[in-house]
Structure 1
Amino acid sequence: MAVAPCYGTGISRRQALMGAAALPLGALPLVASPGRARAQSQAGGAATATAFRLADETRATNIKVHWQAVTGADRYEVHRACAGHPAPVRVATVTGTTLDDYALPAEQTYTYGIRALDVSGAELSTSSTNTCRTFTPGGAFASYDNTRKSSLSLRAGLEADGIYYRYDFRSDADGFSQVVEETSTDGYTFTGNTVVLSRDATPELQDSKLESVNVVKNPATGQFVMWAHYENRSDYTLAETAVAVARPGGAFTFLGHSRPLGHESRDLTFFADIDGTGYVISAARNNSDLNLYRLTPDWLAVAELSAVLFPDQHREAPALVQADGTYYLFSSEAAGWYPSQGKYASAPSTAGPWSELREIGNPATFGAQSGGIVEVGDRHAMMANRWSANWRHPEAANQQRMLPITFHDGYASYDLFETVDYDAEAGTLIPVQRGRIVSAGGPANASSLSEDGPGEDLMYEPAKANDGDHMSKENYYKSGTVPFTWEVDLRRACRVDRINITTRLVNGSETYYEYTIDASEDGRVYNALVDESANRIAGFKTHRVTDTARYRYVRLTVTRIVNIHNENTADWARGINELTVFGAS
């Protein structure tokens, strides 16, 4: 049977077979002006590829490629290989660490190779992605909306003898109140209101609060086990764990609270390894370290402190998963309620050795913090916590952002997509992006340049804000003054569908930017697209654009930068990590 060609619609068959570098304008978001790739301490050698669909298409025939920045790299060559076709195609040379490859044939399997080159063109390292298949979705999908408060409907994980259980942990002005049990026969529709644990019946739970609650089933004993962070109702000085146990359908017996082996324990998570060993990972030493504890076989007590992970790195919200034989530990910065940079490390086993902490997502985790992880079939997704009800300028309710994760050879990546389609029964996740990225690598200019550059190292130049490297907090455009304008030339007239903006965060001194975004077809007459002159949100914002006109130039005007904690002017924190324009040419 003939195999369908593997080259995309923007590349000729001759170019595909020859691996030619020449691409027609608009085929891929090529980054202009090579020589601006950011040097990092990370040493390269890993990459991921994730299939996604565009919002106005029905098939997932686009692939987002991520790779790890390489120390000393000036630029990266990206090569695509298709199963059944021996010759890889060089699809782009870029200076960032991500690339979208659009309009590929469906039902084909691809891998990507990335060559890191120094300024002379010498190869520093190579890396390759997981295999990634484009596909035509089938069946009915629900949709998770990452632009507002949304809900995710997955079958409950606690099941015994055909009955599914879930527990509602309730609190009031006096702290923890009670745990209410609900049951279901299908894992989706729950009924019941049975109190299975309460402070009235348990003196140790009076004037307390429980956070980071994990309820799991021990397959060896058949019992439901609860581990939680235990504190006084009024403060966080105890730093203890709480443990309770129940038979399915029965009341919980509270086994007590304590510091595990004498160590402080705050934010925590539970992890069951494939051999049935249970672990608790918790923030210790005033959130300076993460401690990994192995539990007794019944999961009711700590057996040993297995490791102290990432000492003095101030991580919290740990989440541990295993994928393809590799362990990945995700965490957020201990930065209060505000958005912060997520990081992760990987290891061949829980015993290590663990890699260095690596940045993931973007410096503001797309307006949230690294949180828990859910499984949908063989896919994982980060449910990043947006604690916006706790901000100085609060939103109505806390929310979550669903960020599908791709793993490969110890490397992980996730991105924000406007929506994520999912089929819980089939175990399918489909990231959905509104428009192609049309701003990456476009010529950029600004009204004000930093006094720190541009110099020979090209630090803080305008092109940093649209170079395709949106992961590192140290990679940003820095103006010399405030107010200032920054503008990108899309190189052709485009429909603008969405604009994402990530602004610099300095932990503990988060700032919000007051700004507007307008656009022009000719560089002279501008129309308003976004008005955030009253913005009070720090770190990241995403804007849906409804104007259907076509524009070549998109301009950001920042009028004020303010410390969100004291409302003082904070020009010292100025910086645009990335401004991404999505649309169509």
Structure 2
Amino acid sequence: MKSKILFSALLSVSFGLAMGLTGNISHFKVAFAQEQSSDSQSTTTTSKQNLEQDIRRAEKLQPRIKSYAQLSQNRVNRSLKMAKSLVNSDSATQTQLDTVDLLLSSSMENQNLVKKTKTHYSAVPVGKTWRDTQGAPIQAHGGGFLKQTDKHGNPIYYWVGEDKNHNKSSFNGINLYSSHDLLNWTYRETVIAPSLTNTSLLGNKIERPKLLYNKKTHKYVIWGHWEDQSNYSSSQICVATSNSATGKYTFEGHWRPGSDATHRNWRIRTLADGTRQVEDSNGSIINGATPDEMNNNPSIWGYSSRDFTLYQDGNDAYLITSGGKNMMIFKLNDDFTDVDTNSMKPYTLFDNYREAPAMIHSGKYYFLITSSQTGWYPNQASYSYTTNIADPNSWTKPSSSSPQLLGNNTAFYSQSTNIMQVGNKKTPEYLYLGDRWDANALGSSTYVWLPLSISNQNSGNPSMNLQYNPNWKLNTSTNKITNNQDLLLSQGKPASTDATQSSDSSLALNNANDGKYTQDSGYFKPLTGNGQTVKMPFSYTVDLQRAYNLSRVDISFNNGGNTSYYPAYKVYTSNDNKTWKLAADGSNNQNVGFTSDKLSGKARYVKVTVSQFNTYGTNTPANAAAGIDEFQVYGQK
């Protein structure tokens, strides 16, 4: 993202908060779209110099292209083929030339040209780069998952997701991977790829793809969130179908759910001067159509749909989608290629800007995890539940008396994309599958997969619980989770600080190790001697009351919800509270809200010193927001 665009967005947010505004001010993804605003289709003069230069670079790679991982090969070869076709076209627009050149040039960047290296995992690398079986970083963000049985009768899993290797939100392909153990994933194919022959697959975005299998039609069906690359105004779903999971997919088109059959394959494009126009699939203006008119006529144009998930319940399937303020639920038709508003009337589940839905059925309840809307930045997740998806009045939603919060104040720096059942039918277990988005380099975004506990799912008071545990493993022979969680040593132990403590109990020192780290649980706010302003730098120390063999420290820092912060910090250990050893250096940290660092050796005291709090994106000081929500030290006796 261009820093100027994000800076303006963040200034707007800060101003809105200062003025007490409460509207939806959080969707920073729009800023990413604005940097890619399209030129007018009437551009008459074009420059092919950059594309021609990158074609020559790609051609020089060809003698050794097979030494690279298959994903790297496919990106280069696909983009090169498109580039050669386009550079010889007299009708190519500058936007087309620049779009294809971005795909080609990014495919040849060092981090994307990965030599074939056999890679094997025994555990999920939580929040770390996860590589496929040939060594290429897995590019399957916002992913969807499908479990089936292979020809030998063994379980096989498929994972579809966004390829963000070009570090943009624009469309770069939907990749499909397969695995027999959920740990080691083989890249199979880019099942939906940019195309010069399909106008819906160039100059667009496709996000959060999901994969279903329809037993009736024997078809695999991929859904995605479709937009023009210049904005998030089209707010549509797209659908592709195939006879096999890894086979060739037919792109069926894009539209808003609930639209009539004639209002499809259109887009809202932002022009260079900032105006928006509605275009058909040929790029022609649709006379009389405006974004406002579309939003006010859902029976014709359909309902806005952005972040979404699909949930299959036997022979039925459902679309849960956020259209901005409202999150709605639709039932799919029999072949899973569209919604069916006749068999079940769609309804609004939330009207308070929720997104990132993920659903699972456990016991007699259907559970739905969602997040707030803060763009690419993390926030507090929460859950809702019902016994009947079709009944809008049956849901138990978060409330002030029962907030139903999940994980810490940033969902451990992640956003939900799916929930997977493992184990077996008699004793099922669950995994939370999330994305850790890197807003500054989307291709470097990682994955946060953690064991998810569900309790009392057959009673009247069900609950979900998510704890951070980078040491968990999946037993591939039994499909059961082994937690391997070390002892939590710091909770409730004596703590001290070089700052002044607040008289406000919600900002008191003991909040930092009381076992509560959700957004509403209070935090420790370090103050200067006058008790009015934040002290920076500051330190926080916990006395474990005896020496332990330490393994890691997790810190939930204060996070602003609509505005995200990252701290610069260092962690020290000591046996006498006098002589300190540097144990972890987060001076260059840019993780938002949550950090986890390995510790080693034996110590009684653990201290964190925080030297700076910064606003993510602008990198400007935000010391007034500094604080620690929870400080957790793990180890063994």
TM-score range (shorter-chain normalised) is: 0.5 to 0.7
Give the match's secondary structure for 1:561: strand
Q: Which residue of 1 aligns with 2:517?
A: 470
Q: Which residue of 1 aligns with 2:415?
A: 369
1:550 aligns with 2:620: no
- The answer to whether the 8 A contact 2:179-2:186 is kept is yes
> Partner letter of residue 592 of structure 2?
A
* Structure 1 residues 575 and 197: alpha-carbon distance in aligned structure 2, compared to 1, 3 A threshold: closer
- The answer to whether the 8 A contact 1:473-1:504 is kept is no
C-alpha separation in 2, matches of 1:174 and 1:502: 28
Give the match's secondary structure for 1:144: coil
* Structure 1 residues 212 and 428: alpha-carbon distance in aligned structure 2, compared to 1, 3 A threshold: same
Q: Which residue of 2 aligns with 1:279?
A: 318
* Structure 1 residues 258 and 488: alpha-carbon distance in aligned structure 2, compared to 1, 3 A threshold: same
Name the one with the larger strand percent.
1
1:386 aligns with 2:440: no
Q: Which residue of 2 aligns with 1:354?
A: 395
* Structure 1 residues 196 and 228: alpha-carbon distance in aligned structure 2, compared to 1, 3 A threshold: closer
- The answer to whether the 8 A contact 2:160-2:174 is kept is yes
1:308 aligns with 2:348: yes
* Structure 1 residues 359 and 527: alpha-carbon distance in aligned structure 2, compared to 1, 3 A threshold: same
C-alpha separation in 2, matches of 1:158 and 1:208: 31
Deviation at 1:167, TM superposition (A): 6.3
TM-score between the two structures when normalised by the length of structure 1: 0.67
Deviation at 1:266, TM superposition (A): 0.3
Residue from 342, 351, 373 that aligns with 2:381: 342
Give the match's secondary structure for 2:318: strand
Give the 5 Å matches for 1:48-447. Answer: 142-146=122-126, 148-150=128-130, 157=147, 176=171, 199-248=195-244, 251-261=248-258, 262-274=302-314, 276-284=315-323, 286=324, 288-304=325-341, 305-312=345-352, 314-350=353-389, 351=391, 353-357=394-398, 358-377=404-423, 378-388=428-438, 390-391=439-440, 394=441, 397-409=444-456, 410-433=462-485, 435-447=486-498
C-alpha separation in 2, matches of 1:408 and 1:174: 37
> Partner letter of residue 561 of structure 2?
N
C-alpha separation in 2, matches of 1:318 and 1:343: 10
Deviation at 1:568, TM superposition (A): 2.6
> Partner letter of residue 144 of structure 1?
V
Deviation at 1:566, TM superposition (A): 2.6
> Partner letter of residue 560 of structure 1?
Q
Q: Which residue of 2 aligns with 1:120?
A: none
Residue from 517, 520, 532 that aligns with 2:574: 520
Deviation at 1:367, TM superposition (A): 2.2
* Structure 1 residues 191 and 421: alpha-carbon distance in aligned structure 2, compared to 1, 3 A threshold: closer
C-alpha separation in 1, matches of 2:470 and 2:454: 21
- The answer to whether the 8 A contact 1:178-1:199 is kept is no
- The answer to whether the 8 A contact 1:506-1:573 is kept is yes
Question: Any idea what the Cα deviations from partners look like across 1:321-379, whole Å, max 9, x if unmatched?
Answer: 10112100011221122222111111112125111232111112222222222232322
Deviation at 1:208, TM superposition (A): 2.2
Deviation at 1:177, TM superposition (A): 6.2
Which one is further off, 227-236 or 418-427? 418-427
Return 5+ residue gaps in structure 2 as ranges: 1-120, 134-143, 259-301, 399-403, 457-461, 528-533
C-alpha separation in 2, matches of 1:174 and 1:489: 46
> Partner letter of residue 263 of structure 1?
Y
TM-score between the two structures when normalised by the length of structure 2: 0.62
> Partner letter of residue 430 of structure 2?
H
Give the match's secondary structure for 1:292: strand
C-alpha separation in 2, matches of 1:383 and 1:234: 29
C-alpha separation in 2, matches of 1:325 and 1:556: 44
C-alpha separation in 2, matches of 1:404 and 1:494: 26
Give the 5 Å matches for 1:443-458. Answer: 443-451=494-502, 453-454=503-504, 458=505
Deviation at 1:502, TM superposition (A): 0.9
- The answer to whether the 8 A contact 1:170-1:179 is kept is yes
C-alpha separation in 1, matches of 2:586 and 2:150: 51
Give the match's secondary structure for 1:448: coil
Deviation at 1:399, TM superposition (A): 0.8
C-alpha separation in 1, matches of 2:568 and 2:541: 16
C-alpha separation in 1, matches of 2:421 and 2:132: 12
Deviation at 1:241, TM superposition (A): 0.8
Question: Any idea what the Cα deviations from partners look like across 1:38-74, whole Å, max 9, x if unmatched?
Answer: xxxxxxxxxxxxxxxxxxxxxxxxxxxxxxxxxxxxx
* Structure 1 residues 159 and 208: alpha-carbon distance in aligned structure 2, compared to 1, 3 A threshold: farther
- The answer to whether the 8 A contact 2:174-2:209 is kept is no
- The answer to whether the 8 A contact 1:482-1:558 is kept is no
Q: Which residue of 1 aligns with 2:50?
A: none
Give the match's secondary structure for 2:511: helix
C-alpha separation in 1, matches of 2:181 and 2:499: 60
Deviation at 1:513, TM superposition (A): 1.5
Deviation at 1:174, TM superposition (A): 11
Deviation at 1:476, TM superposition (A): 0.9
Q: Which residue of 1 aligns with 2:299?
A: none
* Structure 1 residues 432 and 150: alpha-carbon distance in aligned structure 2, compared to 1, 3 A threshold: farther
Give the match's secondary structure for 2:621: coil
- The answer to whether the 8 A contact 1:232-1:238 is kept is yes
- The answer to whether the 8 A contact 1:197-1:252 is kept is no
C-alpha separation in 2, matches of 1:542 and 1:445: 21
* Structure 1 residues 554 and 159: alpha-carbon distance in aligned structure 2, compared to 1, 3 A threshold: closer
- The answer to whether the 8 A contact 1:181-1:196 is kept is no
> Partner letter of residue 150 of structure 1?
W
> Partner letter of residue 550 of structure 1?
A
Name the one with the larger helix percent.
2
Q: Which residue of 2 aligns with 1:31?
A: none
Return 5+ residue gaps in structure 1 as ranges: 1-140
Q: Which residue of 2 aligns with 1:105?
A: none
Deviation at 1:189, TM superposition (A): 8.2
Give the match's secondary structure for 1:264: coil
C-alpha separation in 1, matches of 2:558 and 2:588: 18
